[in-house]
Amino acid sequence: MPLSRYLKIYPDREAPGYFLLYSTKKSSTVRLSAALLADAQEGTLSAEHLATLKRLEMVVDDPAAERAEMAGLVDSTNAKSSRFKATLVLTLDCNLACPYCYEEGFRGGFAMSDETARLFVEYVVKEQIGRGREVELRFYGGEPLLNVPLLLQIARPIGEAAAAKGSKFSFSLVSNGTLLTRSVAESLTPLGLTSAQLTLDGPREIHDGQRPFVSGSGSFDAIVENVRQVHQLVKLKLGGNFTRDNYRRFPEMLDALLEAGVDPVLLEPIMFAPVLPKSGEPLPKDLGGCCVSNAEPWLAEAIPFLREETLKRGFAVLKPTMGICMVELDNELVVNWDGSLYKCPSFMGWPELSVGTLAGGFKDYRASHNLTLWQNERCLDCAYLPLCFGGCRLLPLLRNGVIDEVDCRAGFFDATLERMILPDRRFSSR
Ligand code: SF4
Ligand code: SF4
């Protein structure tokens, strides 16, 4: 029985003579002696060892069937899905004025109208809850907490319709964190608020330069205080946007959270990500430490460094895991403030990538979004396919103005995956 093609094998640097087998499909790791690895490669494992590796999907009956299964994974995931997820832009207004804001070209004092909100509620109740699906909403902006009455106008009737049908309903926030006080969190949790994604861009000095209030004053202290007040009530997903020039200082932000009395065990995994250029605009000549490709060599240093520093301080990080982009998932949608529909919030800077409107329905977006981008010989044979699926669609869009190529992560994973799975064996991770 041959080894899975979606497997990486690394020498175990802590145990000479042993190897780590890492399944990119299952995010599982096993350690084998050199002799057992040779048996696995030659197909001479004992029945007991074979059964273990089979359970972990590290060996397969039929490599061609495994490859075909991966090729059909998006279709089978869509067919099985019983959950509808929507990201709603309640307003494009914001109380911060981040100089790098990717929405800068189209942000403004725009808010979703009552009529658009009504159309959305009607669509969800009839087409999603009515068909037995669970509903997860993600309120987005701008800053969604600038428009709490509209949030309630949407969450309440959907929550009631779901309850009447015996379906699950929950919602989350993507917020800058300045308005998520304890009293706001307490008022929203009974309606279905379960989590919030907040941003802290490094220590105060860096954060306040990258994420000032509109007035120009810093937002770091207000956000840290809200994190402290709310993290026992709502699951908080903290992230930060780093550049090539400042990522080394980002762990200081974690130190500040610890000093403020935040319990790292209560937080969701920390997600640091590079600053990207602004949506819908030509690339500037000087990227100023932003990122337009996963192939940028400095990322291969920055991401493992930040993972390790995060774990060292007792915070969790996400394991590399199988992930299908929301663009490919039939039941995931972005609803812009004006009722236009998108497949990714980052695409709102390119109106030609709108996939329809709430009032007028959907249009076919398979060609414009190049959905079969990764269904080629090279990707289907690539050990990293389960972690990549062609990479982020936004990056070729930023580079070329169209989604015309994969953003290949092979070089990045070659340089980092071994290092990224190793700390998970030394520190706790989720
Ligand atoms: S908080 Fe978000 S939406 Fe507001 S300016 Fe900053 S990046 Fe843009
Ligand atoms: S884009 Fe690159 S890393 Fe991703 S699956 Fe294809 S070959 Fe592998």
Domains in the chain: ranges and CATH: 7-62 (no CATH), 75-312 (3.20.20.70)
- Phi first, then psi, for residue 28 (nearest 5°) are -110, 150
User: Could you tell me what percent of the chain has a pLDDT over 70?
Assistant: 98
Measured CA to CA, the distance from residue 180 to residue 196 in angstroms comes to 9
Site to probe by mutation for ligand 2, drawn from 294, 385, 407 as the one with most ligand atoms within 8 Å of Cβ, is 385
- What would the DSSP string read from start to end of 76-140? HHHHH--EEEEEEE-BS--SB--TT-TTTTT-SS-B--HHHHHHHHHHIIIIIGGGT-EEEEEEE
pTM of the entire structure?
Answer: 0.93
Of 170, 411, 392, 118, the C-alpha closest to 276 is 392
Contact call for residues 200 and 226 (beta carbons, < 8 A): no
Site to probe by mutation for ligand 2, drawn from 8, 374, 389, 416 as the one with most ligand atoms within 8 Å of Cβ, is 374
pLDDT of 279 higher than 60? yes
- Phi first, then psi, for residue 165 (nearest 5°) are -95, -5
Q: What is the pLDDT of residues 105-140, one digit of tens each?
A: 888 899 999 999 999 999 999 999 999 999 999 999
Which has the minimum average pLDDT: 116-120, 213-217, 395-399?
A: 395-399
Measured CA to CA, the distance from residue 227 to residue 195 in angstroms comes to 12
CA-to-CA separations, 97 to 35, 181, 187, in angstroms, rounded: 59, 20, 27
pLDDT of 216 higher than 50? yes
3-state secondary structure at position 218: strand
Q: Is the dihedral of CA 20, 22, 28, 33 positive or negative?
A: negative
3-state secondary structure at position 393: coil
What pLDDT does 430 receive? 46
Q: What angle do CA 199, 204, 207 make, to 5 degrees?
A: 45
Contact call for residues 202 and 250 (beta carbons, < 8 A): yes
Q: What's the whole-number mean pLDDT along residues 261-270?
A: 98
Q: What's the whole-number mean pLDDT along residues 274-302?
A: 82
385 lines ligand 2 (CB under 6 A): yes
What pLDDT does 286 receive? 74
Query: How many C-beta atoms surround the C-beta of residue 312 within 10 A?
Result: 13
Helical (H) or strand (E) element with 30: strand 28-33
Measured CA to CA, the distance from residue 359 to residue 331 in angstroms comes to 18
Measured CA to CA, the distance from residue 172 to residue 195 in angstroms comes to 5
Reported as a pLDDT band with limits 50, 70 and 90, residue 356 is: very high
Q: What's the whole-number mean pLDDT along residues 279-299?
A: 79
What pLDDT does 427 receive? 58
Contact call for residues 334 and 348 (beta carbons, < 8 A): yes
Ligand 1 centroid to Cα of residue 212, in Å, is 9
| Radius of gyration of the chain, Cα coordinates, nearest whole angstrom | 23
The overall average pLDDT reported for the chain is: 94
395 lines ligand 2 (CB under 6 A): no
What pLDDT does 181 receive? 98
Residue nearest to atom 8 of ligand 1 (CA): 101
Which burial class, exposed, middle or buried, applies to 316 when counting CB atoms under 10 A from its CB (0-12, 13-18, 19+)?
Answer: middle
Q: What's the whole-number mean pLDDT along residues 230-248?
A: 97
Tokens of 356: 């329809």
